[in-house]
Amino acid sequence: MRPEIILHSFGYLIQAAGVTVAVSLAGIAVGFILGASVCMARLSGNAMLARAGAVYVSIFRGVPLLVQLLFIYYFLGKFGLEVPALVAAVGGLGLSSGAYQSEILRGALNAVPRGQSEAATALGYRRADIWRRILLPQALRLSVPPFINEFILLLKASSLVSVVGIAELTRASMNIASSTYHPLEAYVGGGLLYLAINLCFAGLGTLAERRLGVGRPA
């Protein structure tokens, strides 16, 4: 083990870690918008919309992210749809994460006892108010731990975006391993940075949970 290899390449690794974080944050944001829309479609009561939502989830949760990325970047181009690398990376992460996030939201909404919205209806609440004041506050609170989980999974899965030519953290570690002929040091460096990033986000998640009172009775 020669720690100076990691130190020598530290700037490169940090820069690549920045790419990993940026791509993952953008992916989770796109995924949230898609996931919320799909979840709404599935709970809308409209059979067609619900069906479309279910198909979306099946496809993007069922096909490996690597295959999705290769498809978006290389094969859409064959049909005249030119997708820049960054768009393909964020889009691929977002589409895939959207499927998982919609299920997180759906699970959280279903976890709020039905009796509450029935009671609210009986008390004369409007439908929008039932969502805004009763369902969403509780569901969002319930979904914080699985969201943190999903983000950490996505951040690690983002190593796959190197297939479209984005130099993220895993790719940078591999480059260092091959140029220095010291693979152990390169991967230890990359692995420690992943761990540091994920610990930061897990810490933020714990703060959010505390603030929202997750785990305490509503």
Partner 1 sequence: MITSKTFAVTRRSLLRSGLAAAAASGALMSGLRGALADDTLAEVKKRGELVIATEMQFPPFDISDNGTYKGVDRDLIDAVGKEMGVTVKYLDLPWTSILPGLEAKKFDLCIAPVTITKERMKRYLFTVPIADATAALMKRADDKSIMKPEDIAGKTVGGQKGTSQLAQLKEFATKLPKPVEIKEYVDNNQSYADLAAGRIDASVNSFPNLAYAAAQRSDTFAMVLPPFGAPTYFSWVGRLDDKSLVDAVNAAIVKTENDGTMAKIQKTWFGQTMDLPQTVPEPKI
Write out the residues near partner 1 by the rule CB under 8 A: 8-9, 11-12, 15-16, 66, 70, 73-75, 77-79, 162-165, 167, 171-172, 174-179, 181, 183-184
- In angstroms, give the least distance from the CB of 201 to partner 1: 25
Task: Give the integer Cα–Cα distance in Å for 149 and 208.
Answer: 13
Residue whose CB is less far from partner 1, 73 or 151: 73
Residue whose CB is less far from partner 1, 175 or 206: 175
Task: Give the integer Cα–Cα distance in Å for 102 and 41.
Answer: 10
Residue whose CB is less far from partner 1, 112 or 163: 163
Helix 85-111 × helix 10-43 angle, to 10°: 50
- In angstroms, give the least distance from the CB of 89 to partner 1: 12
Q: Under DSSP, is residue 164 helix (H, G, I), strand (E, B) or coil?
A: helix
Residue whose CB is less far from partner 1, 19 or 139: 19
Residue 123 tokens read as 């008390």
Question: Which residues make Cβ contacts (< 8 Å) with residue 60, sequence separation at least 6?
Answer: 68, 95, 96, 98, 99
- In angstroms, give the least distance from the CB of 161 to partner 1: 11
Residue 77 tokens read as 């181009």
- In angstroms, give the least distance from the CB of 79 to partner 1: 7
